[in-house]
Amino acid sequence: MTIFCSHCHRPLQAEMSCLPRRGKQAPSASKPFRSTKSASKARRDQINVELQALRSLLPISAREKERLSYLHTMALVCLRMRGAQLFPPDSAPPVGPALGTELLSLLPGFLLVLSANGKLVYISENVDQVLGLSMVELLAQGDTVFDILAGRTHEDVRKKLLLAQEQPGKEVMFVSEMRTSKAFRLQHGGNQAVAVRGRFMALRWPASPSTTAFLALC
């Protein structure tokens, strides 16, 4: 009896096929197991070194530096970078961290500086007297003025800032609730209503969004 290949229909001898037989595959050598724990630890150690270097550059006390978390450190670094962009070292900023504690204590509120897009650039140290939160704690809420506002006044504040930006030098005023510490809310029954009075000013010429800032007394 003739046997035909089911593949090409050619006659075959018994136990033959025209299809190529699969050769025996050599067992693959097992890959050595590599632990990623040491690599992850090395990365974490490097990050800690870099963060420590950043902390050492911040113009705050050594006690405050020790209490800074990763989030607080990066928030302060971003704040300083925005401030350096608006107030270069060769310029004389109208407000800044150089203001003494005695001078700040004479103010009826705290000073606030915003960039053209509402980013926080400067908050004076006496903010804790008004909101019960230190400047560092307030920055942990976010990096824009809208992050430190409480309630549903974001859109009203946005309109006021746009109006002030369209008319540089013209003072605008708005009242909004600002975030406060838990102890403050327990003592006073809620967040703090703060009146903000300020104006956009050109810090350098030619004036542009990157060279203008909103300076306010809160």
Express each pLDDT in 140-173 by its tens digit: 788 889 989 987 888 889 999 999 888 888 999 9
Q: Which of 42-56, 157-171, 199-213 has the lowest mean pLDDT?
A: 199-213
In the predicted structure, residue 97 carries a pLDDT above the cut 50: no
In the predicted structure, residue 210 carries a pLDDT above the cut 50: yes
> What percentage of residues in the chain have a pLDDT greater than 90?
15
Instruction: Tokens 């003739």: give the residue.
Output: 2
Average pLDDT, the chain: 78
Express each pLDDT in 119-146 by its tens digit: 898 888 889 889 998 888 888 788 889 9
**If 0-12 CB within 10 Å is exposed, 13-18 middle and 19+ buried, where does residue 142 land?**
middle
Angle among Cα 117, 65, 137 to the nearest 5 degrees reads: 45
Q: Which of 20-29, 101-110, 128-137, 185-194 has the lowest mean pLDDT?
A: 20-29
Express each pLDDT in 17-45 by its tens digit: 555 555 555 555 566 656 677 888 888 88
Domain chopping of the chain, boundaries: 58-217
Overall fold of domain 58-217 = Beta-Lactamase (3.30.450)
DSSP string of 108-139? SS-EEEE-TTSBEEEE-GGGHHHHS--HHHHH
